[in-house]
Structure 1
Amino acid sequence: MKNSILCSLAAVSLALSFFFEKAPIKSTATPEKPAISLQTASLLPESLNNNPVNKPSEPVGKIPSYKDSLFYNYYSQTLGLKLEYTENKELIETVTEWLGTPYRSGSASKKGTDCSGFVTRIYKEVYDIDLSRSSRSMFHDVKRISKTDIKEGDLVFFRRGPGQPIYHVGIYLKNNKFIHSATNGGVIISSLKEHYYQRNYYAAGRVI
């Protein structure tokens, strides 16, 4: 009797299994313990798996190349300037080649040069522009600009007092620094903040 009852129950259970689907497994994932994903990471390059989630973002600005970094770091130390990787490379290289050239009135070569001779040579070599030979006449070749608007390559002019003629000219670089041929040092880099040049500064001009 007992065996017949057990066999009947087994038959009923087997029959019911054909009419009802298996209940889904309840997820045990929580915010603190997320469910484990069975998706495996792709070993293909991003261009093949087209997964937008892992797509790298575009760079914010242009990253200087290793060669550019070496260039600007070298000239930054040589010229004593804080360069920003945007300066005119040809201007930087050319003026550096003239550093230490002795002063010589009326000349414009690397054996010796005066202030206007130096400026005319740089402008010819870098910009292929012919400027007037003297600092006074050169002032008429430029557009006068405010001291606060001076940029790399602009010219700075000096005179010894109100009503006095222009007697000196240099090429502005940056950070208040300019390069020129001085009577007491030849081609050097000076600051507009130095007392002598601050006192004798007259105007700035841009070649257009």
Structure 2
Amino acid sequence: MKHSLLYCLAATSLALSFFFERAPEASVMARAASAPVVAEASLLPALTIGKPATEPRDFGNPPATKPTAAELAASRDSLTYHYYAQTLGLHLAFDENKDLLRTVTDWIGTPYSYGSNSRKGTDCSGFVTRVFHEVYGINLIHSSRAMFSNTKRVAKSEMETGDLVFFRRGHGPIYHVGIYLKDGKFAHSATNGGVMVSSLNQPYYHRNFYAAGRVPAAVAADAAALEEAATALASAE
């Protein structure tokens, strides 16, 4: 009986020692088994660091395309014409001679100076001669009466951009000249303000308007410029 009790105690002690030795191993194994799962989960965000996110596609709108050279040129022309229209107070059709509009704009504000034709000062015919030389390469005589004699008469209702407008008081000689722009407005060098844009509807100019004239060489130059612009636009497309 005594020996049986001793055998039972020994067996119980052996079982307990085996259990306590294996339990830590089991917990270690359990941690080891779960470690890769945690590590793998923690690595997933790291794999996306530095990579661009995929942008959702907008199926409602087509992707943006790069503008063509012709479109860029048209955009620049539009901005240019808008600037000239605002500066000169005109409603433009965007087919006027840009060189003429630019040159007139550059001369705005030049003071009046009788007998001169420079940026420091110019009279009416001096202004016209400079503009026509810069824009068309045409040398006009520095005299409003001489210009009138060398132009083709144009009805007031048929005036076009670049035509010349002449003024005289009553039956006196022609004393003033300007460059017709559009919308009844013309550019000229006035004694009371220098180079400016005025309206033919102003009482003074309406009363003293005499005739309009066209310089044939300027018309030919305008046509050549339009053809050149059309060719350049076609080659850019």
TM-score by length of 2: 0.60
SS at match of 2:140: coil
* Residues 64 and 85 in structure 1, CA contact (< 8 A), matched pair in contact too: no
Structure 1 residues 1-208: aligned runs within 5 Å: 65-162=74-171, 164-208=172-216
Shift of 1:64: 7.7
| One-letter amino acid matched to 2:213 | G
SS at match of 1:65: helix
For structure 1, the 5+ residue unaligned runs are 1-61
Shift of 1:145: 1.1
Task: Tell me, in whole angstroms, the C-alpha distance in 2 between the residues paired with 1:77 and 1:193.
Answer: 19
Task: Tell me, in whole angstroms, the C-alpha distance in 2 between the residues paired with 1:73 and 1:64.
Answer: 14
**4+ residue runs of structure 1 moved beyond 4 angstroms?**
none
SS at match of 1:197: helix
Q: Deviations over 1:129-180 (max 9, x none)?
A: 1111110111111011111110000000000112x00000000000000000
Task: Tell me, in whole angstroms, the C-alpha distance in 2 between the residues paired with 1:144 and 1:125.
Answer: 23
* Aligned positions, number: 146
* Residues 180 and 187 in structure 1, CA contact (< 8 A), matched pair in contact too: yes
Task: Tell me, in whole angstroms, the C-alpha distance in 1 between the residues paired with 2:150 and 2:141.
Answer: 7
Shift of 1:96: 0.3
| One-letter amino acid matched to 1:106 | G
| One-letter amino acid matched to 2:82 | N
For structure 2, the 5+ residue unaligned runs are 1-70, 217-237
Tell me which residue corresponds to 1:16: none
Structure 1 residues 199, 77: CA separation in 2 closer, same or farther (over 3 Å shift)? same
Task: Tell me, in whole angstroms, the C-alpha distance in 1 between the residues paired with 2:180 and 2:95.
Answer: 15
TM-score by length of 1: 0.68
Shift of 1:69: 1.2
Task: Tell me, in whole angstroms, the C-alpha distance in 2 between the residues paired with 1:200 and 1:73.
Answer: 31
CA RMSD of aligned residues (A): 1.5
Task: Tell me, in whole angstroms, the C-alpha distance in 2 between the residues paired with 1:151 and 1:64.
Answer: 25
Look at both structures and tell me which one has the larger radius of gyration over its CA atoms: 2
Tell me which residue corresponds to 1:35: none
Shift of 1:65: 1.5
Task: Looking at secondary structure, tell me which structure has more helix per residue.
Answer: 2
| One-letter amino acid matched to 2:204 | Y
